[in-house]
């Protein structure tokens, strides 16, 4: 497993929901002069997506090299084909990741962007309107989707650019100019041992050298936690090591809080709740967020360590899909993110053992059946690695 390479002297801004994220993205596209790399799981068909597409088209019309990757499952075959036609007309290069599962079951779940090797974006936001359901644009949400991204300036941008350029090369072809620039960038030492703010590292998960990197980052933070750990995630189905990390932190006296999405997928809710009793007994605080879709994948440990990204705490994100998170070591950034999580907790519904003591027998059986199905499905898909 490759270790995370941290750099200092970064400027990283937290962006909450699409109201902050999408305008920042469009502003960067409109300022682009040389190249744009862009990856997303979902590129929907709505007004927000049209604005992003138009901004990419304007950049291409100015002569900017624009490379876009969308996931075939996340975006859908029909929309992927429509995007291909639209992007070709705009002069934008586009790949649909792993159509018809030709490269196995892994999905490209990352949300990444680099513009001119100067500014990067990363997070959990897909290209879909904040007020539309992920699966059906005709379903309106009661409030904007709860999600986060970051805007990055500084040395970390070079690391993200290299990762995206290599990914693009794996899916297709690069010009000789871009190949040479990428080769030179790969040979540079991006890591730094400085101690000035803001220290941050790119944490990716793939099926090559980074199979467990994101889980390892979480476990290291939980194992080092002294006072508090707050995790927010929409799809919660942790393996044994992740569960043990949460439980052991709580048993050491760390105040562990989980803010979890609920109400989007019934089967996912049942799976997540199958873990609640064991975690609650260990002293882990669990709060369900039902105000709207919770889609953020974020965490703060001890007001100094924070992560924002695309990785859920489930078997698909931790053991199958391509994911990307950023880990930030900075008290100001961590406290800002903590305030958002605390607000989500205040708006959520706390769970207790009493909630489960009164659960009818048929629901208890349903929880066990759902967990059995999920556990064995993931064991087959991941060759047993999801149990870790």
The residues that are catalytic are 109, 111, 116, 295, 297, 302
Q: Is 357 exposed, middle or buried (0-12, 13-18, 19+ CB in 10 A)?
A: exposed
A 10 A CB-CB count for 62 gives 12
* The total number of residues written for the chain in this structure: 388
Q: How far is Cα 285 from Cα 256, in angstroms, rounded to an integer?
A: 6
Largest CA distance in the chain: 66
Instruction: Name the CA dihedral angle for 201, 339, 29, 67, rounded to a multiple of 10 degrees.
Output: 50
Q: How far apart are the first and last CA of the chain?
A: 15
Count CB neighbours of 27 within 10 A.
Answer: 13
Alpha carbons 80 and 262: distance in angstroms, whole number: 29
C-alpha dihedral sign at 225, 230, 234, 237: positive
Residues facing residue 260 across a β-bridge: 233, 288
d(CA 214, CA 85): 35
Alpha helix (H) ranges present in 293-388?
315-319, 331-347, 353-357, 361-381
Angle among Cα 140, 143, 148 to the nearest 5 degrees reads 110
Given a contact cutoff of 8 angstroms between Cβ atoms, the answer to whether 227 and 254 are in contact is yes
Q: How far apart, in whole angstroms, are the C-alpha atoms of residue 262 and residue 344? A: 13
């Amino acid at each position: 497993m490759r270790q995370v390479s941290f750099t200092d002297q970064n400027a990283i801004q937290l962006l909450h929901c699409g109201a902050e994220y999408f305008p920042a993205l469009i502003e960067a596209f409109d300022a682009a002069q040389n190249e744009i790399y862009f990856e997303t799981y979902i590129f929907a068909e709505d007004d927000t997506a049209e604005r992003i597409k138009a901004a990419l088209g304007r950049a291409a019309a100015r002569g900017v090299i624009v490379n876009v990757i969308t996931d075939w499952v996340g975006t859908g075959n029909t929309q992927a084909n429509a995007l291909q036609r639209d992007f070709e007309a705009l002069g934008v290069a586009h790949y649909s990741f792993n159509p018809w599962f030709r490269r196995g079951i892994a999905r490209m779940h990352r949300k990444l962007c680099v513009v001119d090797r100067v500014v990067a974006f990363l997070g959990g936001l897909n290209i879909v309107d904040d007020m539309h359901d992920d699966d059906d644009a005709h379903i309106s949400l009661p409030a904007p989707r709860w999600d986060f991204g970051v805007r990055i300036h500084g040395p970390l941008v070079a690391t993200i650019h290299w990762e995206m350029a290599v990914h693009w090369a794996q899916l297709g072809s690069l010009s000789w100019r871009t190949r040479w620039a990428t080769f030179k960038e790969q040979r540079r030492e991006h890591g730094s041992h400085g101690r000035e703010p803001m220290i941050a590292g790119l944490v990716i998960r793939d099926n090559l050298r980074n199979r467990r990197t994101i889980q390892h980052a979480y476990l290291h933070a939980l194992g080092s936690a002294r006072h508090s750990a707050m995790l927010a995630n929409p799809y919660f189905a942790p393996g044994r090591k992740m569960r043990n990390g949460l439980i052991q932190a709580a048993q050491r006296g760390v105040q562990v809080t989980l803010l979890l999405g609920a109400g989007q997928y019934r089967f996912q809710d049942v799976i997540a709740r199958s873990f609640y009793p064991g975690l609650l007994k260990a002293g882990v605080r669990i709060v369900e967020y039902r105000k709207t879709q919770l889609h953020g994948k974020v965490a703060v440990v001890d007001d100094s360590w924070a992560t924002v990204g695309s990785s859920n705490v489930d078997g698909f994100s931790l053991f199958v899909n391509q994911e990307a998170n950023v880990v930030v070591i900075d008290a100001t950034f961590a406290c800002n993110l903590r305030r958002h999580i605390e607000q989500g907790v205040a708006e959520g519904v706390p769970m207790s053992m009493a909630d489960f003591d009164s659960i009818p027998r048929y629901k208890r059986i349903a929880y066990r059946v759902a967990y059995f199905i999920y556990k064995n499905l993931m064991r087959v898909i991941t060759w047993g690695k999801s149990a870790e």
